[in-house]
Structure 1
Amino acid sequence: MKTILIGLMAFALAYPFNSSAQKLLGLVVEKDKQSKDQPLAGANVRWLGTSQGTTTRDNGVFLLDRVEGADRLVISFVGYISDTIKITDQTNIKVELKSEVQLQEIVVQGWKPSTYNNALSEMNLIEMNEKELFKAACCNLSESFETNPSVDVTFTDAITGTRQIQMLGLSGPNTMISLENMPGVRGLASSQGIQFIPGTWINSIQVTKGVGSVINGYESIAGQINVELKKLQESDKLFINGYVNSSARSELNLVHTAHASKKWATTFLLHSSIRPLEMDQNHDGFLDFPKGKQVNFINRWVYNSCNGWLGQVAFKYLTDNKQGGQLGYDPEQDKFSTNRYGFEINTNRYEVTGKIGYQFSGKPYKSFGLQLNALQHNHDSYFGFNVHNANEQSFYSNFIYQSIIGSTFHKFKTGLSFLYDNFTESLSSANTTFANRNFDRTEIVPGAFVEYSYDDTKKFSMIAGARVDQHNLFGTFFVPRLHLKYKPTETMVLRASAGRGIRVANIILENPGFLASARQMVLSNLQSNHAYGFRPDDAWNFGFNFLQEFTLDYRSGAFSVDYFFTDFKNQAVVDWDKNPQQINFFGLTGKSFSHSLQAQLDYQLIRRLDVRLAYRWVDVETDYLNGRLLRPLVPRDRAFINLAYKTKNNWMFDYTVQRIGSQRIPTTSSNPSEYQLKSYSDPYILMNAQVTKNFGARWSAYVGAENFTNFKLSNPIVSASQPFGPYFDTSMVWGPVFGRMWYVGFRYRVK
């Protein structure tokens, strides 16, 4: 019990302070055959007579806002007997649920998918827990969505291994990626950043489709991905993960948690990876992946004064080095020469984050918190003769106060934010093909926000928010957002959302593929004297979601449909079609929009066999310099199947198959015939599979394969034999550049 209480205390310390009202902490368990407590993940917890509730995490822990006037807590789970607990002044509780016995002693066990649409949220929120992440190797955040149909991950080019997400058919920077509700992947990290978050550090991922909360800033357009790292209560005392794959990539991850005193505790997170060997599976003379190494470290300290004050500080360090290009490339002999084509990308990042909050005694609805973040990001790179160097110094603060208006039916959050970004950036040519260009800028953005929420505790709830930010370069930003939820029945949810998003595009790092090519950068229809000459991207997003939970043959399931429309009022458009020897950036003069429609079904087909089916269709169009065209290299549709089966003796089998639809390829019609590509790609199939075996409570091992069908592009690089010629282009990638990849790994933990 002492361990449980320590874990519960740590949960409160590590929880994001933008929702840090006075909480009730709890643990929901069931008894196993040896009468030992086992955590019950996915149990529903809510205040009786209200719609205020939550679900338990993988370790059975929940954290729930207290509701004024509510003193009875209902804990339920499909296949278990519900329990109602009287709550007085407790700060933490432990609840044991017992299995129901029905149909002549057949035990109906509860079920919750490892990825699910959170019916309690006003927003269209997809929750991914640790079980979902363990379905694949998940070496970093970019590989954490292989079993999720809502997020696509694509390669930006054929040689650097850089990945970028797509949501609602829009490229990654249109989606805000935060770390524990603080700035995560933005600025100079927008290119490589999703590869800098190790998968084994991640406790859960929340994917919000459509505009997010105004509390987190003005940059979310297509959605928000919030990554929760291992918390003290989620972390084992020691966790070690090792991994190696058939492309000679190996890595080691370590998480260690210790309690320094009754008030202080700390977590160490360490990641190291290396890929030392050259590999060319498609025989084009270029490495499929760059050689490289990475070291990543976080040390987090949390503090609880036991009188209302909570605090947290974390120190982070990253170094990442990549080298690739043609086989045999040696920088000491070949750099900035025509002997062999090569590139290097070197990143160093230093970061400090802090949170402090206070909970008012006797007023569970009232609290305030302050979030702080400071970082230095250094990025140095070259691609052949193209040299791109950039540095960023950033500071962020966000003060949040929350309380009620009259009663807990009406709540509000308000606060002030401040963002400082200083960029020094240059693009030059080592052989003076083009003149040096500098894109230095300093952004200073103070802001204020307010968010009102209403919940009648039965059927209807809403969140309405707005923020005003004063940008020193681009003037005033006004960003309103609205989320509505209606529950016609206990198992049906209807949601609607609308809102605005604004972001300053970092056009070079967001489109790194052109650097590894002969394309020359052209800027036209300039709109300002700042930030590459363009005003910020400005878009409105509208969305609708239908969610129906059901029980069929005594097993639970969920079916959802959502539609989103994104309409850009301004955009720094990247045009790959005007001239295949150029990349044209211009200020939007016409229309640019995205339609996205997705249907998804989750169901436990038979006991311990989970099935996820999904289909998505997108229509993304922009008025380019040659007229309105489909956005290139975006699949028109995607079909998805994921099967997960677990045996009684702890074998786990996971299988994912996807059909990726046709994609428009930028025109190369003016190239010589041998360097021309077809206008559209062919649909193709991708299969991934993994087998995991748990050996008791501490050890587990897994083996898997990515791209099981061994599908790969036969000629992913245009003019690969002439890398210093005018037609060389590595950016026309619409599928895998490498074939089947095997991997093995292990996990070891001490609780």
Structure 2
Amino acid sequence: MKLIIFFSLLLSVSTLAAQVQFTGKVTDNKNAIQTAVYIVEADEEVQTDAEGAFTYQFENAGIYHINIENSSGFIQAFELNLTKPEEQFEFVLSNENPQTDLLNEIVISGTMKPVLRSESLVPVEVYTPTFFRKNPTPNIFEALQNVNGVKPQVNCSVCNTGDIHINGLEGPYTFVLIDGMPIVSGLSTVYGLSGIPNSLIEKVEIVKGPASSLYGSEAVGGLINIITKNPLYASKYAVDVFGTSWGEINTDLGLSLKVSDKVHWLMGVNYFNYSNPIDKNKDGFTDVTLQDRISIFNKFTFDRKSKKQFALATRYFYEDRWGGQMNWNRSHRGGTDVYGESIYTNRFELLGLYELPFTEKITSQFSITAHDQNSMYGDTPFMAKQNIAFTQFYWDKTYGKHDLLVGTAARYQMYDDNSAATPTAHETFIPSVFVQDSYEINKHFSLLGGLRYDYHKDHKSIITPRFAFRYESDKGDILRLNAGTGFRVVNLFTEEHAALSGARDVFVLEDLKPEKSYNVNVNYLKTWMLKDDFILQAEAAAWYTYFTNSIIPDYDSNPNQIIYKNLEGYAETKGISLNVDAVYANNLKIMMGVTLQDVSKVEDNVRTQQMLTEKFSGTWVVSYTFNRLNLTADYSGNLYGPMRLPLVSELDPRLPYSETYSIQNIQLTYKGFKHFELYGGVKNLLNWTPNKNNPFLIARSNDPFNKNVQYDANGTALVTPENPYGLVFDPTYIYAPNQGLRTFFGVRYNF
């Protein structure tokens, strides 16, 4: 959305200490727009009426920052200099949202306070629905594939479990939140990321680097905060349906209603179905997991006389997914005749926010989740339940040049499964307190310090500090430095799903000590306003993380085992990245990013590259709008360097390192109809899949129950005429989606 402001602001020689009656009107150059207007300094929102008009009374004249949001979730922030007792302005919204406007986006994730992105001491990346629509996907997990430094990682060829890597660190180091609540954890990190409807997302905020002092000690690699739309400003009706030539169908439905004068309701339904087994690589197994999934989301906001916030949201998620041999059906579930991995998932979430009725700004938040997984991995049953309750209260106080945040939190978790590792239900309760203070030294320099205290019944006191520094030059260049620590306890199922497939046994050689980390990152941002409406923005970053007591799965010592122990040496991750965004005359937009990284461990003075981690990667999105044709073309893609892969034996003929690969997509979107958009294109233009130049992906796919494998006294598979490489069944040799070229077509409707 590009905001074109048809007015001039008169500069005042002094600030008037008088109230200002502010009147505005918002249109799209043709029609009035009902939307939200957010006044940053007052931390208040007002709603335009049916004529697009709104009023607000400022206590004093002066400089204010205001955000305007349209029904598509696009946001533009700008600065007003109010000098007269009465001010009137008109704002005209267009359909575009220049990437450079995101510098003025209000972000929350970095410091848990609403602040302009450009003024945040913590670098926060913001991605709106416009970005994700350039390569439409059925869920947020796949949507992140074009974000530089963020990689959705597939971990199993059969069931397609996955996690999200940030700057080379595995999924357990990534904290995923919904509306600021840590409800995506444990069991839900394995399959639950597939059930968040894209249509309900207002924006996604990504923080790369430590966020432990505010969000908990496990936010080591970074966090992803998925912020859902406000019912007050969402489209009344929204439909987005697309299908692919593989037979995938994705449907997003949205409805926004005013239930009463004080209650606003947003409902979203996402349904995804893929029930067409395909075996392009001819190994007898499905290339992509079949899925039948529904997610129902409800969000309520309540208007209060005090204008303080009150919101409730619920989400129900059900999924039936299976992958395996092509002739598998329900009658084979749990048997040993035909191999299949079948997972039924039931999940319920409740979250809320309530600002207490005090003069001071004190906010309470809570979330409750219940997760039930009924699964069969071949003939191995895995039945698991996880219930999590979380609550926190925090006080937001500004005094002088200080901006203080003080809070307390508590997290309860119950986990139980049918494995030998969990003879009884495991319960944990972690109380926490945290404090953060940012201080503006002058217009150029700002500092932030934070400290969090958690108490764990097994590991006792956990203290995680945080420090940040920000410098802004007169030209608007921004330099940020962030440092912090982290603390992590391993979760064996969510991290080692391979054990359930029968491919490897998990061995824990000792009582695992918590992993500790120390992180520092530097970020530099510069924007050039060039001639001929050409805007260029570059953001460079460098980071280093050092781990002690590192808990890294050992795939190498025994091909039949995954061995867990604390690393006797140390592990580290270091790297640099560069993002470049360019906008030319509202027709051409280019977003490109590259990351170079080294993720390794050092033990006995020997450095080893971490499994399934590339040393370089790149992403890009190029968009061009043909205004006369109402047509936009999007060309997106990513590039990944070689990764070290887990082999089953020394004779395993599969590649020990993946080849450099690229997945590229193209899309055309037609916007010539009122309220309607038509879009279509091709995914994976190069038809790349991980079986390229490999003899096979799944080891022993012809014998998934290892019925014909012979073993020695140590349990190692023997080389026989029938098994010339000494392999066992292994579906974990996977590092990218095994889905080749396909076309897609869809339609969107918003009203």
Please name the residue that 1:105 is paired with.
Answer: none
Q: Residue 234 of structure 1: CA displacement? A: 3.7
- Report the CA distance between 1:620 and its aligned residue: 0.4
Does the CA contact (< 8 Å) of 1:179 and 1:228 recur in 2? Answer: yes
Following superposition, the deviation at residue 404 of structure 1 comes to 2.6
Pairing 1:575-586 to 2, within 5 Å after superposition: 575-586=554-565
Q: Does residue 400 in structure 1 map to residue 380 in structure 2?
A: no
Residue 268 of structure 1 is matched in structure 2 by 267
1:662 paired residue number:
642
Show the counterpart of 2:293.
Answer: 294
Measure the CA separation in 1 of the matches of 2:44 and 2:218: 29
Among 350, 353, 371, the residue aligned to 2:351: 353
Cα distance change of structure 1 residues 611 and 480 upon mapping to structure 2, 3 Å threshold: same
1:222 aligns with 2:234: no
CA deviations 1:168-212 (Å, max 9, x no partner) are 101122011100111131121121121121112211000011112
Alignment correspondent of 1:731: 732
The alignment status of 1:339 with 2:334, answered yes or no, reads no
Partner of residue 565 from structure 1, selected from 544, 550, 553: 544
Percent identity of equivalent pairs: 22
Q: Which runs of 5+ in 2 are unaligned?
A: 1-20, 69-75, 106-116, 707-726
How far is the alpha carbon of 1:732 from its aligned partner?
A: 1.2
1:484 and 2:483 equivalent?
no
CA distance in 2, matches of 1:498, 1:183: 22
The yes-or-no answer on 1:741 pairing with 2:742 is yes
| 1:145 match: secondary structure | helix
Partner of 2:437: 452
Kindly state the Cα deviation for residue 479 of structure 1 after the two structures are TM-superposed. 1.0
Task: State the Cα distance separating 1:427 from its structure 2 match.
Answer: 2.9
- Whether 2:491 is the aligned partner of 1:503: answer no
SS at match of 1:467: strand
Secondary structure of the structure 1 residue equivalent to 2:568: coil
Contact 2:503–2:731 at 8 Å: present in 1 too?
no
CA positional deviation for 1:110: 9.1
Q: TM-score, normalised by structure 1?
A: 0.83
Residue type at the aligned position of 2:677? S
- Secondary structure of 2:494's counterpart equals coil
Change in 2 beyond 3 A, CA 1:67/1:171: farther
Q: Following superposition of structure 1 onto structure 2, how do residues 280-291 of structure 1 map, counting pairs within 5 Å? A: 280-291=279-290
Aligned counterparts of 1:89 and 1:438: Cα–Cα separation in 2: 71
The match for 2:626 among 644, 647, 672 is 647
Within a 5 Å distance, the mapping from 1:685-696 to structure 2 comes to 685-696=662-673
Instruction: Give the C-alpha shift of residue 655 in structure 1.
Output: 0.6
Give the match for residue 517 of structure 2: 539
1-structure distance, mates of 2:25, 2:684: 39
- Contact kept, 8 Å, 1:136 with 1:690, in 2: the verdict is yes
C-alpha separation in 1, matches of 2:133 and 2:280: 27
Deviates more, 1:125-134 or 1:686-695: 686-695
1:334-355 deviation per Cα after TM superposition (whole angstroms, max 9, x unaligned): 3344321111111111222121
Task: State the distance in 1 between where 2:139 and 2:297 align.
Answer: 15
The residue correspondences of 1:237-252 to structure 2 (distance < 5 A) are: 237-252=236-251
Q: Distance in 2 between matches of 1:138 and 1:229?
A: 17
The alignment covers a number of residue pairs equal to: 678
**2:595: which partner in 1?**
616
After superposition, the C-alpha distances for 1:72-93 in whole angstroms (9 at most, x for unaligned) are: 226799xx99873428999xx9
Corresponding residue number in structure 2 for 1:72: 63
CA contact (8 A) 1:124 1:210 kept: no
SS of the residue 2:564 aligns to: strand
- Are residues 1:162 and 2:161 paired? yes
Q: 1:95 to 1:732 in 2, by over 3 A?
A: farther
Alpha carbons of structure 1 residues 697 and 625: separation in structure 2 relative to 1, 3 Å:
farther
Conservation of the 8 A alpha-carbon contact between 2:238 and 2:750? yes
Who is 2:456 aligned against?
A: 471
Alignment-derived partner of residue 582 in structure 2? 603
Deviates more, 1:313-322 or 1:676-685: 676-685
Residue of structure 1 equivalent to 2:372: 378
2: CA distance, partners of 1:202 / 1:696 = 24
Cα pair 1:141 1:197 within 8 Å, conserved: yes
Q: How many angstroms apart in 2 are the aligned matches of 1:583 and 1:279?
A: 31
Query: Is the 2:134–2:636 contact (alpha carbons within 8 Å) kept by the matching residues of 1?
Result: no
1:190–1:510 Cα contact (<8 Å) kept:
no
| d(CA) in 2 for partners of 1:736, 1:710 | 11
CA distance in 1, matches of 2:620, 2:316: 38
| C-alpha contact 1:356 1:370 (8 A) present in aligned 2 | yes
Change (3 A) 1:610 1:150: same
CA contact (8 A) 1:241 1:252 kept: yes
Seen in structure 2, the aligned counterparts of structure 1 residues 278 and 27 have a Cα distance that, compared at 3 Å, is farther
- 2:687 maps to which of 702, 707, 710: 710
Match of 1:722 among 703, 706, 710: 703
Superposed displacement of residue 731, structure 1: 0.8
> TM-score w.r.t. structure 2 length?
0.83
Q: What is the CA deviation profile of residues 502-524 of structure 1, one whole-angstrom value per residue up to 9, with x for unaligned ones?
A: 23321211232443342111111
2:80 is aligned with 1:84: yes
The answer to whether the 8 Å contact 2:65/2:77 transfers is no
Structure 1 counterpart of 2:514, one-letter code: P
Contact 1:242–1:745 (CA<8 Å) still a contact in 2?
yes
Corresponding residue number in structure 1 for 2:150: 151
Q: Structure 1: how far apart are the matches of 2:199 and 2:256?
A: 14
Q: Which moved more, 1:311-320 or 1:391-400?
A: 311-320
- What runs of 5+ residues in structure 1 fail to find an aligned partner? 1-23, 100-108, 429-435, 528-533
Q: Which residue of structure 1 aligns with residue 112 of structure 2?
A: none
Go from structure 1 to structure 2 and tell me whether the alpha carbon gap of 1:67 and 1:587 turns closer, same or farther (over 3 Å shift). Answer: farther
Q: Does the CA contact (< 8 Å) of 1:73 and 1:84 recur in 2?
A: yes
What RMSD in Å do the two structures reach over aligned CA positions?
A: 3.5
| Matched position secondary structure for 1:348 | strand
CA distance in structure 1 between the aligned counterparts of 2:84 and 2:211, rounded to whole angstroms: 34
Equivalent residue number for residue 407 of structure 2: 415
Q: Which residues in structure 2 correspond to 1:183-194 (within 5 Å)? A: 183-194=182-193
**1:6 equivalent in structure 2:** none
Relative to structure 1, the CA distance from residue 624 to residue 740 in structure 2 (aligned partners, 3 Å threshold; closer, same or farther) is farther
Give the distance between the partners of 1:30 and 1:291, measured in 2 at CA. Answer: 45
Alpha-carbon distance in structure 2 between the residues aligned to 1:110 and 1:313: 29
How far residue 288 of structure 1 moved from its aligned partner, in angstroms, is: 1.2
Could you give the per-residue CA deviations for residues 405-454 of structure 1, whole angstroms, max 9, x where no partner exists? Answer: 3x2x11211111110001102336xxxxxxx7647421101111111111
Q: Is the 8 A contact 1:716 1:737 kept in 2?
A: no
Question: Conserved in 1, the CA contact under 8 Å of 2:155 and 2:735?
Answer: no
Summarize the Cα distance change of 1:297–1:625 in structure 2 as closer, same or farther, 3 Å threshold: farther
Q: CA deviation at 1:699?
A: 1.0
Range with bigger deviation, 450-459 or 169-178: 450-459
Match of 1:547, as an amino acid? L
Question: Aligned runs of 1:101-180 on 2, under 5 Å?
Answer: 111-113=98-100, 118-180=117-179
Contact 1:716 1:730 in 2 (8 A): yes
Distance 2:205 2:330 in 1: 41
Instruction: Report the equivalent of 1:327.
Output: 326
- Correspondence for 1:10: none
**Structure 1 pair 539–81 and aligned structure 2 pair: CA distance change class (3 A):** closer
Q: 1:710 to 1:692 in 2, by over 3 A?
A: same
* SS of residue paired to 1:389: strand
1:254-285 per-position Cα deviation (integer Å, ceiling 9, x unaligned): 11111122211111111122222211121111
Tell me how far 1:598 sits from its aligned partner: 0.3
The 8 Å contact of residues 46 and 53 in structure 1, kept in 2 or not, is answered as: yes
Deviation, structure 1 residue 25: 11
Contact 1:577–1:626 (CA under 8 A) maintained in structure 2: no
Give the Cα separation in 1 of the matches to 2:88 and 2:279: 55
Contact 2:416 2:422 in 1 (8 A): no
Classify the secondary structure of the residue corresponding to 1:194: helix
Label 1:82 to 1:427 Cα distance change in 2 as closer, same or farther (>3 A): closer
Residue in 2 that maps onto 1:427: 419
